[in-house]
A and B are shown apart, each in its own frame.
Chain A
Amino acid sequence: MVFLQPLALLLLGAALVPPLLHLFQRRRPPDVVFPAMRYLRQTEREAKRTIRLRHLLLLLLRVAAVALVALAAGRPVVPARVGAGHEPTALALILDHSLSSGAVSRGVRTFDDLAARAGETLRAAQPSDALWLIGADGVARRGSQEALLAVVTAARPEAVRLDLSAAVATAARLVRASGYARGEIHVLSDIQLSAFGPPDSAAAGLPVLVYHPPADPPPNRAVVSARASPATWLVGSGTVAAEIGGAPEPADARVAVTVSMGGRPGARSLVAARDVALLSVTAPAIGWATGDVSLEPDELRADDRRPFAVRVVPPATVSWDPGEAGPFLAAALGALERAGEVHPGTALAVRLGPMAAEPGGAAVVFPPRDPVGLGTANRALAAAGVPWRFGPRVEREDTLAAPRLPEINGARVERRYRLESSSGVEARGVLARAGGDPWLVRSGRTVVVGSRLAPDETSLPLASGFVPFVGLLVNRLARGDEGILEAAPGETVPLPDNVTALTLGDGTVRRVEGARAIAAPAAPGVYFLLAAGDTAGALVVAPDPRESDLRRAAASDIAGRFPGAKVTIAASPQAYAAERFRGSGRSELTGWLLAAALLVLVAEALVAAGTLERSA
């Protein structure tokens, strides 16, 4: 037996009060003259033993009552099954309401079973427990039994992914920090194989109770990717690349895929699992457009449809200084012209060259061939309101880092001018870096390149991605296009520097100015990025493809995912209920002791009343 409040055991000293009172009350009583002494003596002689026994019983009952209350104040705990409750426990309950929990298996939605178990556990909790509920979003909510029950009742499967390893690590951190002697982590999940990360010993030493009823997950097909190809369509038509995934695979290996855009159905195709379907779609009017790729419904509906976005633009009109552009850039522009992706001209043109910058105009500015013209180029940038300028020349081989521009990411740069902020503080709009310094920057519709696009300064002109990069420069970057971002619900999304707001699904606008990153909205869909009032890009929020893989981890493998943890697998609701709070191993006896004290007091009252009745 262990006492949670051992100091309260000092109250046991109060148990001495009844015997002490008994002793102190043994003073000499007053004399009373009474002639019928022979009757009294006879009575006293006959009843002496009974009276002594009754007095002793009363004394013992009073001592017992005080001792029981003192013991109850000490909050003793004993091994489980002795008391009705359990030792105060820090309980972290992980409830999986990720997308996959919405799968229906044998007519029952997985989440409904999990929520029922969560409700039972919360109702079995005691006020002395510390309770956390960790959802699929990884957020730990601490609350009372009633508050968390309300959360469970209101919970629904969402298009988010549960990282079970991270959730267990969070739960372990909370339980350890709770200060409770006993803690438990309950995992109520469909135990997707894809939900686990590498083995994590964060929960070492802690009881982890995993609800894992044996059941086969339903076959599942999902659209795991849908992208316009290319991302910017020129007027005419375009293609949507849709990747089919999901598991387990159904018996029928082929699946019908349909694309729709602007509410109009498009191409339909039969695709094998894990294939990429290229679906042709007629491009709608110029501007941003959305669509979705869908499959025939199966047991998990939430991943059968996936949105995409595309920008439809006319080919850019470009003008350049042949002497400054050099042969490689001129050749690339020529290739783009032949492909119909650019038109030479000056009206509303994208100007290329050291002096291309002008207020409000679209320009691609690169260093002049002659360093003497560098000052003039900087003055032209300043006059155009661009907060960047060409700084010192750097002759060192560096590698380009451009995470969002795969066309140039990893290319080498041998000579460059360090791009500097004219205000002294690095301005926003860096698209690529070389050696840590800005190399490709954008301000409004002006793009500044740190090197001339010539082989003696960068390897780009000789790379296969050079022509697409030039097309990117003139058709997207110099036109203020931020491109299309993709994220899973709740995922952190780094924002382009010039984005100031985000349109939400209901048409409202959420200001994000100044934010480097945001959490992607929870609802799948297409959200547009706004920059200075114009639509600059799109954020496509779609479920994580890993949620579409419904294959489950084997019960025998789960313990290995949490090295050192005391993992218990509950294969049925009954087994889960039996194991619940058993990890704490002990139950608090306070209630029992108080009840016993009450019974003792009732017995004392009955014995005392018997005494009174005898005297009545």
Chain B
Amino acid sequence: MALPSRVARDRLDLLDPHEVSGLGGIELVAEGVVEGFLSGLHRSPYRGFSVEFAEHRPYQPGDELRYLDWKVVGRRDRLYVKQYEEETNLRATIVLDVSRSMAWSGDPERRLSKFDYATRLAAALALVLLRQRDATGLIGFDDEVRCAIAPRARPGQWHLLVRALLDLAPGGGTAAEQALGRVTGLLRRRGLVVFISDLLVDRDLVLLALRYLRHRGHQVVVFHVMDPGELDLDAAGEARFVDPETGEGVVASPRDLRRDYRATVERVVTAWRRSLRTGGIAYHHVSTATPFGHALRRAAEGRARLG
């Protein structure tokens, strides 16, 4: 597939997600992001215990000098680094929260909704995994599991995943614990579970489910997606704030609560991070304004640790 000139030219992984998403559909954007991401890796995430040489590529600033192929340098007087390809049988499943709360954006004109951000992140992540021959699957859920694609490494799996992502739409409430229970059934072999959600869930149940996965030997990575408008209460005046999932409302003045709210969010994030890491679960807090490349890098680091 031919990429648009800008997609081919720019490091889309480092651009503003909203700007990047305007360049095309999920598939195109994910490819552009992954290309940029892979070309800019300073430290190869594919380096494992059983690696074999795959190809040379031109040296880029930031590459580690130990991967320089000095023989080629001597022969051709050009800098090339050696790239290795790892053979693996990793089974990765991306568990995506598609509840109604994920459909929200604090500034729709300038920021992606949490759902749009999460689907594009999931697509890019799936592409990265599939390119390194990891079997990758997808589970979408709100108050029930909306789609479930078993992990496969076969050609066409990524397109299957992309279509599934395109078919998903923000739905009802959030019942992550059921979806995670379903995941345990789907993931019979030990593998990687990437959980992408705004974590507006029953915290104890979700923690229990995630720890259970970890107990079953899965490597679990959690992406806590938040809109900047949720991080910082930036509404103008007094308003009745309504929960999109339950319809419950509360009257509050952001002017009075802003600082306390920010502290509450920080406390919640800290609690999630501490609870998850205590259970050996990687936790990444990302904003919908965070470039996709940053999120991918965090996932790649987790993948590397998994080996």
Contact = CB atoms under 8 A, between A and B. Distances in A.
A1 interface: no
Interface string A22-60: 000000111111111111111110110001001100000
B268 interface: yes
B117 to A, nearest CB: 14
Contact of B244 (A35, A39, A54): A35
B258 interface: yes
A37 B250 contact: yes
Contact of B260 (A28, A35, A46): A46
Contacts of B240: 28-32
A38 B268 CA distance: 10
Nearest to B268: A39
A611 B230 contact: no
- In order of increasing CB-CB distance, the 6 nearest A-B pairs are A35-B101, A615-B258, A614-B259, A37-B243, A34-B241, A36-B230
Nearest to A27: B238
A616 interface: yes
A49 to B, nearest CB: 12
7 contacts: A29-B237, A32-B235, A35-B198, A36-B230, A40-B241, A46-B264, A47-B260
B242 A34 contact: yes
B239 A43 contact: no
Interface in A68-86: none
A615 B265 contact: no
A557 interface: no
Contacts of A37: 241-243, 246, 248, 250
B255 interface: yes
A613 interface: yes
B104 to A, nearest CB: 5
A154 interface: no
B300 interface: no
- Of residues B101, B249, B251, B264, which shows the largest number of chain A Cβ atoms within 10 Å of its Cβ? B264
B101 A616 contact: no
Nearest to A34: B241
A135 to B, nearest CB: 67
Contact of B256 (A28, A32, A38, A54): A54
Contacts of A40: 233, 241, 250, 252, 257, 261
Contacts of A39: 230, 261, 264-265, 268
A616 B234 CA distance: 10
A612 interface: yes
Interface string A576-601: 00000000000000000000000000
Interface in A345-362: none
B245 interface: yes
A47 B101 CA distance: 25
Contacts of A611: 255-256
Contacts of A44: 250, 252, 257
Interface string A325-369: 000000000000000000000000000000000000000000000
B254 interface: yes
Nearest to B248: A37
Contacts of A43: 257, 260-261, 263-264
B256 A42 contact: no
A615 B259 contact: yes
Contacts of B226: 36
A189 to B, nearest CB: 69
B200 interface: yes
Contacts of B104: 33-35
Given A29-B238, A30-B240, A44-B252, A38 B200 contact: yes
Interface in A222-252: none
Nearest to B231: A36
A179 B217 CA distance: 100
Contacts of A616: 258-259
A46 B237 CA distance: 20
Interface in A500-531: none
Given A29-B238, A44-B250, A611-B255, A34 B243 contact: yes
- Of residues B102, B198, B200, which shows the largest number of chain A Cβ atoms within 10 Å of its Cβ? B200
A300 to B, nearest CB: 80
Contacts of B264: 39, 42-43, 46
Contacts of B244: 33-35
A607 to B, nearest CB: 12
A614 B260 contact: yes
B112 to A, nearest CB: 14
A33 B248 CA distance: 10
Nearest to A45: B250
Given A40-B241, A46-B264, 18 more contacts: A29-B238, A31-B242, A31-B249, A34-B104, A34-B243, A35-B102, A35-B104, A35-B200, A35-B245, A41-B250, A43-B261, A43-B263, A51-B257, A614-B256, A614-B257, A614-B260, A615-B254, A615-B259
A51 B260 CA distance: 11
B239 A31 contact: yes
Given A47-B256, A616-B259, A35 B243 contact: yes
A35 B256 contact: no
Given A35-B104, A36-B230, A30 B259 contact: no
- Of residues A36, A42, A54, A55, which shows the largest number of chain B Cβ atoms within 10 Å of its Cβ? A36
B169 to A, nearest CB: 16
- Of residues B235, B238, B261, B265, which shows the largest number of chain A Cβ atoms within 10 Å of its Cβ? B261
Interface string B252-283: 11111111110111001000000000000000
A612 B255 contact: yes
B243 A613 contact: no
A36 B239 contact: no
A288 to B, nearest CB: 97
B255 to A, nearest CB: 4
Contacts of A33: 104, 241-242, 244
Nearest to B239: A32
B241 to A, nearest CB: 4
Interface string A414-449: 000000000000000000000000000000000000
A40 B230 CA distance: 9
A32 B260 contact: no
A355 to B, nearest CB: 118
A39 B260 CA distance: 10
Nearest to A37: B243
Nearest to B233: A40
A615 B259 CA distance: 5
A30 B265 CA distance: 24
A611 B253 CA distance: 11
Nearest to B238: A29
Contact of B239 (A29, A35, A612, A615): A29
Contacts of B254: 615
Contacts of A54: 256
Nearest to B103: A35
A128 B301 CA distance: 83
A47 B259 CA distance: 10
B256 A51 contact: yes
Contacts of B200: 35-36, 38
Nearest to A46: B260
A32 B101 CA distance: 13
